[in-house]
Amino acid sequence: MGDAPPDATARTVIDCTGQVVAPGFIDLHSHADFTIRDALTAEACIRQGVTTIVTGNCGSSPFPITPERRQAIDMTLARPGSRTAEAPWEDFDGFAREVQAAAPCVNVAALVGHGALRVAAIGTRLRPATAEETVTMLKLLAQAAEQGVFGLSTGLIYAPGSFAGTEEVVALATEARRADLLYSTHMRDEGDDLIEAVTEAIETARRSGVRLQISHLKAMGPVNHGKVHQALALIDSAVEEGLDVACDVYPYTASSTRLTSRLPNWALDGGPEALLERLEDPETRERIASELRTRIGRTFLPEGTVLAAMPSGRYSRWVGSSIQEIATAVGRDPAHVSLDILRAHDATVWIVNHAMSQADVDTVLRHDSSAVASDGWELDTTGDGHPHPRHFGSFARVLAEYARDRRVVTLPEAVRKMTALPASRVGITDRGTLEEGKTADLTVFDPTTIADTATYDAPQSYAQGTHHVLVNGSLVLHHGAFSGNRPGRVLRKNP
């Protein structure tokens, strides 16, 4: 440790000998807007050095909410009995006030979700937006931008976002461009039609002029492994053309998502209640099962689809088991078992989906434009179920396995992908680098001991090796112990 200036004074001196002092990490892809009010210390983040989370991804945000459609807003990520599920707000301003009043440990930078905009304007029906409904969505997006959100997100693989055509998305992306917002997309497909989905996303950026962030780029299913090379080539070509396109990635070969995302769009028309009614009709149920079977061995792998979380019910004891294990035990085929589980648990079932290749993850992480993200929402180990380990270990895993042990990326490059790069993508200008005048979000970690400890078998385990973390200049982790300070802020674009 070098000598301090002779006139320097400090209440606390931190010896960082042998440690890495880095800007606080920025998680570019989080869903913790649904959980932050119930896990204010955000220990899963802080123990990895994450000081800012970017929420509202995949088209899902807890705002805006119109009074007449309040019950239709998707709150399935919120914990049972959560205050967030009550949603005592209608817009980003109201949400921000509630979160700030709760005093979180980390900073929150929000995107507004297309799915929430669509529910507010249309509901959960499978149909194109009318001209009037499109205007409503554009007005709600403009209002969110004026209130300080950093971007717009879509979840084009999830209902009701998947019900929208390209023209609707382009219209919203054009408004996002007008407001200088980032457009982040969970694309329409990550398997058989991955390349077509990347092409659609880039065409949206081309037509609207928006800055494009392709969320957690991956190729799902063995028949699609290797397609990430072509996807990255399309990104490179778009950048050469003059478009602003980048991506992010989490360092695992399994994803985590809703089991309903495996189903055809028509089965989801009208929301979960309508799906449950369809599952009661034998003929309709068989039609859904038949379409689900066509994906087996491609993008739906029953042996790799593991139950992660769901409301209490008939299959609760099988959390942590695969669809194939359950099917074998009960003597039914995997498609019908999947529908049985959805029917028994209010169509609200989360899965961990083992369907990616390690080589593809390495390839995407190496790419210059890819930022590290968690795609997480579990902020501490008090939640139920059997969640994906990415909630607790994504950033530490990159520093340990991918930088230190396997040298897929260098340590400085890994840190850039967690700090300056995500800050530049979102448009956060006062964080992400260590410079005089910038906000003091800092993380200090030991590069020889930093490690993720969460596994697929035992996921609820915090990372180790982070010794000190400052958020907005306040120590929240000191010598590995929490200080009790909760200095996080809800950030706003151009406050």
What does the pLDDT read at residue 252?
A: 98
For residues 371 and 413, the answer to whether their CB atoms sit within 8 Å is: no
Whether residues 341 and 362 share a domain: the answer is: no
Q: Which residues of 15-36 are buried (b: 16+ CB within 10 A; e: fewer)?
A: eeeebbebbbbbbbbbbbbbbb
Pick from 353, 386, 409: which residue ends a domain? 353
Q: Is residue 320 part of a domain?
A: yes
pTM metric for this prediction: 0.96
Whether residues 349 and 361 share a domain: the answer is: no
245 vs 235: CA distance, rounded Å: 6
Q: Is residue 226 part of a domain?
A: yes
Whether residues 132 and 143 share a domain: the answer is: yes
Whether residues 91 and 44 share a domain: the answer is: yes
Q: Is the dihedral of CA 125, 130, 134, 137 positive or negative?
A: negative
Catalogue the E-assigned strands of 310-433.
Answer: 350-354, 370-372
Block means of pLDDT (10 residues each) for the chain, 495 residues, are: 65 91 98 96 98 98 92 84 83 97 98 97 96 98 98 97 98 98 98 98 98 98 98 98 98 97 96 96 97 94 96 95 98 97 96 98 98 97 94 98 98 98 97 96 98 97 98 97 96 88
**Per-residue pLDDT tens over the stretch 10-48:** 788 899 999 999 999 999 999 999 999 999 999 999 999
What does the pLDDT read at residue 125?
A: 96
Whether residues 343 and 360 share a domain: the answer is: no
What does the pLDDT read at residue 470?
A: 98
Domain interval for residue 281:
265-353
- Token pair, residue 280, equals 């009661």
What does the pLDDT read at residue 438?
A: 96
Whether residues 280 and 175 share a domain: the answer is: no
Whether residues 92 and 174 share a domain: the answer is: yes
**8-state DSSP, 492:** -
H-assigned helices in 2-155: 43-46, 83-86, 92-102, 114-121, 131-147
Return the CATH number at 471: 3.20.20.140
8 vs 252: CA distance, rounded Å: 44
Whether residues 289 and 239 share a domain: the answer is: no
For residues 308 and 351, the answer to whether their CB atoms sit within 8 Å is: yes
What does the pLDDT read at residue 3?
A: 61
Pick from 353, 388, 409: which residue ends a domain? 353
**8-state DSSP, 431:** S
What does the pLDDT read at residue 1?
A: 41
Q: Is residue 230 part of a domain?
A: yes
Tally of domains within the chain = 2
Whether residues 320 and 438 share a domain: the answer is: no
**Per-residue pLDDT tens over the stretch 311-362:** 999 999 999 999 999 999 999 999 999 999 999 999 999 999 999 999 999 9
Q: Is residue 426 part of a domain?
A: yes
Whether residues 347 and 419 share a domain: the answer is: no
Q: Is residue 488 part of a domain?
A: no
Q: Is residue 170 part of a domain?
A: yes
Pick from 325, 353, 381: which residue ends a domain? 353
Q: Is residue 487 part of a domain?
A: no
Whether residues 195 and 337 share a domain: the answer is: no
Whether residues 276 and 364 share a domain: the answer is: no
Q: Is residue 118 part of a domain?
A: yes
